[in-house]
Structure 1
Amino acid sequence: MFTGIIEALATVEKIEKEDTNVHFTFSCPFTNELKIDQSVAHNGTCLTVVGIDGDDYTLTAIDETLERTNLGDLKIGDVVNVERCTKVGSRLDGHIVQGHVDTIGTCIGINDFEGSTEFVFEYDYDEVTVSKGSITVNGVSLTVVQSENKLFSVHIIPYTIEHTNFHTLQIGSKVNLEFDIIGKYVRKMLRN
């Protein structure tokens, strides 16, 4: 369980393929606090730490993860948003985030609003967003501003742009999307 409040940026140090799996080695400011078998969200994707070596740690992504997320597009030197699991008793500053990416979205618009920046995303997936509802983009808990069929926008403050990998996004960038878990359950119940 995560909150979508990003702790740091992690840098891709090494990528190794093994059969259909990919082992990613990252470095980040809190590597020395990690433990083997710990869950850490990378661009909103919950992955397990399988190795630690000095300032670097390694995770393994299976083919399902690589197909459903933007992790398969990572290159050496890329940065991802990282968040460790929520501690029981901690404040839930963002929203309930599982770390189970639903689909990949594409950035189709970036607009400067002199104080905030609007990012517009489209996706091809059977889920919906609602205006003022929650969405997770690359692991970041955000509020939907405008919601249309398979398209939504969010407005980002300068602090969030600077402290997440939103500063690297451009038109055409692929992002991981996790739709609000409560909304998904409500939608499923209404369908039944």
Structure 2
Amino acid sequence: MFTGIVQDTGLVTGVESSGDEMTITIDSEILAAMSVGGSVAVNGACLTAVTVGDGTIQVNAVTETMNRTNLGDLSAGDRVNLELPVSAGSLLDGHIVQGHIDATGTISGIMSEGESVRIRVDVPEAIQRYLVEKGSVAVDGISLTVASLHPAGFDVAVIPHTRDVTTLGRREVGDRVNIEVDVLAKYVERLMAR
């Protein structure tokens, strides 16, 4: 489990495709404590370290992951949001994030609001019902609050700190981002359907 509080932006140093699988090599100081088999959220997607070096790991992404995320868009030199799993005594600063991406969205607008920015994200209709104004959403693994809804998706207001310590500061209109809706909304829907 994760909280959506990004701990570092790691550097992608290699991307290799082999059949229906992709291996991504990532460098970051926070990865030094990892061991093989450990989990890490990469742009919000929970992946397993298959090799570990001194601050470098390799993770694999299979077809299901590639179909639901933006990880297939990565190339060497890109930055990715990283978060290690929470432990039992950790503060839950963001919201409950599983690392199970529901879909990708597309940034359709970036508007300055003083020092902050408002980012508009268009998402598939199938996940729009899980979004509520002032509710939680993870965008590329970042815990954010839905500022407002629009017919094709939602807006988030991003403070300068979040923009500076995540990949959101590098995002442009047209970029694909990973979206994980609040898991509690999905559970409520399932219970109400019974």
> Under a length normalisation based on structure 1, what TM-score does the superposition of the two structures give?
0.96
SS of residue paired to 1:9:
strand
**Structure 1 regions of 5+ residues with no counterpart?**
none
**Cα deviation 1:97-133 (Å, max 9, x = unaligned):** 0000000000001000003110000011412210000
Residue matched to 1:126: 126
How big is the shift at 1:184? 1.2
Q: Percent identity, aligned pairs only?
A: 38
**Separation of aligned partners in 2, 1:135 and 1:153:** 10
The number of residue pairs the alignment matches comes to 192
- Please, which moves more after superposition, 96-105 or 31-40? 31-40
Question: Contact between 2:11 and 2:78, CA under 8 Å: does it hold in 1?
Answer: yes
**Separation of aligned partners in 2, 1:148 and 1:15:** 35
**Cα deviation 1:75-118 (Å, max 9, x = unaligned):** 11000100000011211000000000000000001000003110
How big is the shift at 1:185? 1.2
> Under a length normalisation based on structure 2, what TM-score does the superposition of the two structures give?
0.95
- Please, which moves more after superposition, 119-128 or 171-180? 119-128
**Separation of aligned partners in 2, 1:20 and 1:173:** 23
SS of residue paired to 1:145:
strand
* Residues 1:87 and 2:103 are matched in the alignment: no
Q: 1:125 to 1:103 in 2, by over 3 A?
A: farther
**Cα deviation 1:144-167 (Å, max 9, x = unaligned):** 010134410000000000000001
* Residues 1:136 and 2:138 are matched in the alignment: yes
1:51-66 to structure 2, matched below 5 A, reads: 51-66=51-66
Residue matched to 2:156: 154
**Amino acid corresponding to residue 160 of structure 1 in structure 2:** T
Question: Contact between 2:32 and 2:53, CA under 8 Å: does it hold in 1?
Answer: no
**Separation of aligned partners in 2, 1:20 and 1:70:** 15
**Separation of aligned partners in 1, 2:193 and 2:112:** 38
* Residues 1:19 and 2:28 are matched in the alignment: no
How big is the shift at 1:20? 0.8
* Residues 1:178 and 2:162 are matched in the alignment: no
**Cα deviation 1:155-180 (Å, max 9, x = unaligned):** 00000000000011110010000000
SS of residue paired to 1:144:
strand
Question: Contact between 1:103 and 1:125, CA under 8 Å: does it hold in 2?
Answer: no
SS of residue paired to 1:26:
strand
**Separation of aligned partners in 2, 1:33 and 1:125:** 40
**Separation of aligned partners in 2, 1:187 and 1:119:** 27
Residue matched to 1:108: 108
**Structure 2 regions of 5+ residues with no counterpart?**
none
Question: What is the RMSD computed on CA atoms of the aligned residues?
Answer: 1.1
